Structure 1
Amino acid sequence: MTYCLSLHCGEGLVFLSDSRTTAGIDNVTLHPKMRVYEKEGDRVLCILSSGNLSITQSVSAFIDRDMERAVGEAGGSCLMNQHNLYDTARYVGERIREVRKLDAEALRQGGLDFNINLIVGGQIGSQPPEIYQVYAEGNAIHASRQSPFLQIGELKYGKPILDRGFTYDTPLHEAVKFGLLSLDSTAKSNLSVGTPFELFCYRAGDLRASHRMVFENDHPYLMDLRDRWQNGLIQLVHAIPPLDCLHR
């Protein structure tokens, strides 16, 4: 299992992912689930992935194949020459369908589902930044001001903090903290999610991928963040008056 999320606020976008892949309690490996694509001054894109590792890697391979063809003599459609983010998400959905045609039946015969979910986001030119979730069927939805974040994978543990505190009007530096707390809270409650955490913070209008970090479990900022969060929760609970029937 994995957990990836993207937050959309007025100042930009935040992308976060863990790096743990689990195939049973005795087979835990690390695989990056974030890919960032950049053509400085023109567009910046980020893809987060969850699901069957072989499927996500196949989709990535097809995306890379098309980009190689597009810069060669063959030309053609690729991730980095779509007109807008919606078309980009649709393009990624088409690559999922391409893999589905090749592998879905064989996976079914082996008792496995065709399991993949992606988050695709970024900014193209002067168009506003956007984030989309692309499903295993290839269709997509986008985040909005009213629902300004997307999650894939093991999402239930990290959702409450976002529901309670994050909005489209949250400043970008605060959005990073909300995202890290959501990811770290998930890792605290589910052993299949864990460090290293990858962060890509994108400020609207930059059109370059300049703010990327990897957080190991002992990263000073991550350790301070989780300690302050845990201790703050305990202090807040202590500060809440008890129920009248229990007060003596």
Structure 2
Amino acid sequence: MTYCVGIKLEAGLVFLSDSRTNAGIDQISTFRKMMIYEVPGERFMVLLSAGNLSISQSVREILQVEKVDRGPHEEPLTIWNAPSMFDATRVLGSAIRRVYEQDGPSLKAAGVDFNMSAIFGGQVKGEAMRLFQVYSAGNFIEATQETCYFQVGESKYGKPVLDRMITPKSRLNTAAKCALVSMDSTLKSNLSVGLPLDLLVYREGSFASQEHVCIDEHNPYYQMIHSTWGQRLREVFLSIDDPLGDTEPTHPLLVDSERYAPLRKITNASEKVV
């Protein structure tokens, strides 16, 4: 399994991915899940992938040379000449379908699902930044003001902090910190996600990024996040009133509901449940 998150803000984009791949408890490996496609000054794109490793690697390889026909009088569409991120994502979808055509029947015969999902985002000169989530059928959806981040892989543990903290107007530093907290929460609860991590921050209109780093267990900022987040969660938890106790609580728990009757107790065999 894996965990990847991409965040689209007014100020830029944030991408974070882990690197653990496992096929059983004794088949743990490290494979990077992030790919950067960059033509300085013209286009900048990032791909995060999750799912079956062999499928993901094939898609990444084909994506670099994949061509989508645009008609008899136009040059085929590639990620290198796509006039928009939407068109570049169409090329990614085509690459996924090509791998399915090549390997799908054999995988099915072997009892293996065609399982691959991706986050693909960036900026092409002449248009605003865009962020997409791409599915194993090659179809995709785009991030909006209301939903400005995507997750693929083991997403449930890291989602609450993103939902509470991230808005399109968030600062890039805030989003990067939030993404790392989200990842640390996932690492804490799921062994199928693991270090090292790849973090990339893209600033709107730059068409390049120098702010990317591979984070291992010795990284001082990650060590601080790991220890501080757990400690502060415990402090906040302990500061909340206990629901039951000998003293009268400030916020009582055992109060009657205005709408619902108390739960019935069955005291003998002849009573009806309903």
TM-score normalised per structure 1: 0.93
Q: CA deviation at 1:63?
A: 1.6
Q: CA deviation at 1:247?
A: 5.2
Question: What is the letter of the counterpart of residue 246 of structure 1?
Answer: G
Q: Which residue of 2 aligns with 1:20?
A: 20
Q: What is the CA–CA distance in structure 2 between the aligned matches of 1:165 and 1:120, rounded to whole Å?
A: 22
Contact 1:126 1:205 in 2 (8 A): no
SS state at 1:80 partner: coil
Q: What is the CA–CA distance in structure 2 between the aligned matches of 1:241 and 1:204, rounded to whole Å?
A: 44
Q: Which residue of 1 aligns with 2:130?
A: 130
Deviations along 1:10-39, one digit per CA (max 9) or x if unpaired, are 111000000010010001001110000111
Q: What is the CA–CA distance in structure 1 between the aligned matches of 2:151 and 2:134, rounded to whole Å?
A: 11
Q: Which residue of 2 aligns with 1:71?
A: none
Q: Which residue of 1 aligns with 2:270?
A: none
Judging changes above 3 Å, is the alpha-carbon distance between structure 1 residues 92 and 241 closer, same or farther for their aligned structure 2 residues? same
Q: Which residue of 1 aligns with 2:44?
A: 44
Question: What is the letter of the counterpart of residue 12 of structure 1?
Answer: G
Q: Which residue of 2 aligns with 1:156?
A: 156
Q: Which residue of 1 aligns with 2:213?
A: 213
Q: What is the CA–CA distance in structure 1 between the aligned matches of 2:77 and 2:146, rounded to whole Å?
A: 32
Q: Which residue of 1 aligns with 2:110?
A: 110
Question: What is the letter of the counterpart of residue 137 of structure 1?
Answer: A
Q: CA deviation at 1:87?
A: 1.0
Structure 1's consecutive aligned runs of 4 or more residues displaced over 6 angstroms after TM superposition are none
Contact 2:9 2:172 in 1 (8 A): yes
Of Structure 1 and Structure 2, the greater helix share is in: 1
Judging changes above 3 Å, is the alpha-carbon distance between structure 1 residues 228 and 61 closer, same or farther for their aligned structure 2 residues? same
Unaligned runs of 5+ in 1: 68-74
Contact 2:63 2:91 in 1 (8 A): no
Q: Which residue of 2 aligns with 1:184?
A: 184
Deviations along 1:84-114, one digit per CA (max 9) or x if unpaired, are 1111111100110011111111101100000
| Structure possessing the higher radius of gyration over alpha carbons | 2
Q: Which residue of 1 aligns with 2:121?
A: 121
Deviations along 1:58-94, one digit per CA (max 9) or x if unpaired, are 1111122348xxxxxxx74321211111111111001
Q: Which residue of 1 aligns with 2:80?
A: 80
Q: CA deviation at 1:227?
A: 1.2
Contact 1:66 1:76 in 2 (8 A): no
Q: Which residue of 2 aligns with 1:35?
A: 35
Judging changes above 3 Å, is the alpha-carbon distance between structure 1 residues 247 and 173 closer, same or farther for their aligned structure 2 residues? farther
Deviations along 1:204-240, one digit per CA (max 9) or x if unpaired, are 1111121110100221100101211111111111222
Contact 2:49 2:117 in 1 (8 A): yes
Q: What is the CA–CA distance in structure 1 between the aligned matches of 2:230 and 2:58, rounded to whole Å?
A: 39
Q: What is the CA–CA distance in structure 2 between the aligned matches of 1:53 and 1:111, rounded to whole Å?
A: 16
Question: What is the letter of the counterpart of residue 119 of structure 1?
Answer: I
Q: CA deviation at 1:57?
A: 0.9
- State the Cα RMSD in Å: 1.3
SS state at 2:60 partner: helix
Question: What is the letter of the counterpart of residue 78 of structure 2?
Answer: C
Q: What is the CA–CA distance in structure 1 between the aligned matches of 2:204 and 2:165, rounded to whole Å?
A: 21
Question: Relative CO higher for 1 or 2, CA cutoff 8 Å, sep ≥ 6?
Answer: 1
Question: What is the letter of the counterpart of residue 161 of structure 1?
Answer: V
Contact 2:59 2:95 in 1 (8 A): yes
Question: What is the letter of the counterpart of residue 62 of structure 1?
Answer: I
Contact 1:2 1:193 in 2 (8 A): yes
Q: What is the CA–CA distance in structure 2 between the aligned matches of 1:121 and 1:47, rounded to whole Å?
A: 7
Contact 2:196 2:216 in 1 (8 A): yes
Question: What is the letter of the counterpart of residue 51 of structure 1?
Answer: G
Question: What is the letter of the counterpart of residue 118 of structure 1?
Answer: A
